[in-house]
Amino acid sequence: MTRRARLLLFLCGGGVLAALFVAGAVGMPGFGSTHHPDRDLAVPAAVSHGTANVVSAVNFDQRAIDTFGEETILIASTIGAVALLRPARGETERHPPDLGRTLESTRLIGYLLMPLTLVLGADVVLHGGITPGGGFQGGVVLATGIHLLYVTGSYPALERFRPMGAYRTAEALGAAAFAAVGAAGLIGSGSFLGNFLPTGSFGQILSTGTVQVLSAVVGVEVLGSAVVLLAAFFEQEISVRKNES
């Protein structure tokens, strides 16, 4: 198909879609209205389980099975990307060459921010049930903190700080632990991923039952996935080279 024909086809389809979308948007409840039936159901349900962060309650309690599916997508895409990024035929992994120089100020800021970012990430993961945040956000913050070592220009230090086996295991264990908590819910409350732990007093760190546990488990898995994924891309760029023949 020529580019012109493809564009014409898109304009036809896109035009129809745009018209349908506008027609649908006209019939939607007004922007900023007070009519939110699912909010009216989700907030009391979260409060009844002692979860102050309602978004986490939706993710890890009310729709936890959906998050389980999402976790599976996460692990499947990571496996797919890592499998695709293995050194291909005719390529070998070499010791990375010198990566050049970094500004002293960049290095200083990298080394200063790394521990702060790691602490912030751990805080976001561990308080996911009661303050804004949760396992997904905190896991990404933790992975970012580790990769600040790359910003400082020391790829060998990053490699030492990042034993790949441990992160691959962490990723798998995170996914398995999610399923294990779900199965424990089956025994404890009669439904898969049911919130079977005591919900404590509202607003305290141990108040949310399984929400906090699942948040931590997801944090570990997201950290593992992000590190494994970024490592695969780094290796492609830095250490995998075509054989000269």
Contact residues for other proteins (CB under 8 A)? Answer: 3, 6-7, 10, 14, 17-18, 21-22, 25-26, 28-34, 36, 38-40, 42-43, 46-47, 52-55, 57-59, 63, 66-67, 70, 73-74, 77-78, 80-82, 84-85, 88, 130-132, 134, 136-137, 202-203, 222, 225, 229, 232-233, 236
Tell me the three state secondary structure of residue 100. coil
Residue 136 vs 145, nearer CB to other proteins: 136
Q: How far is the CB of 36 from other proteins (least distance, A)?
A: 5
Burial class of 21 by CB neighbour count within 10 A (0 to 12, 13 to 18, 19+): exposed
Residue 47 vs 109, nearer CB to other proteins: 47
Where is 242: in which H helix or E strand? strand 240-242
Residue 7 vs 112, nearer CB to other proteins: 7
- Tell me the backbone φ, ψ of residue 77, rounded to 5 degrees: -65, -35
DSSP letter at 168 equals H
* Distance in angstroms (rounded) separating the CA atoms of residues 21 and 37: 23
Residue 41 vs 112, nearer CB to other proteins: 41
Q: How far is the CB of 142 from other proteins (least distance, A)?
A: 15
Burial class of 193 by CB neighbour count within 10 A (0 to 12, 13 to 18, 19+): buried
Q: How far is the CB of 71 from other proteins (least distance, A)?
A: 9
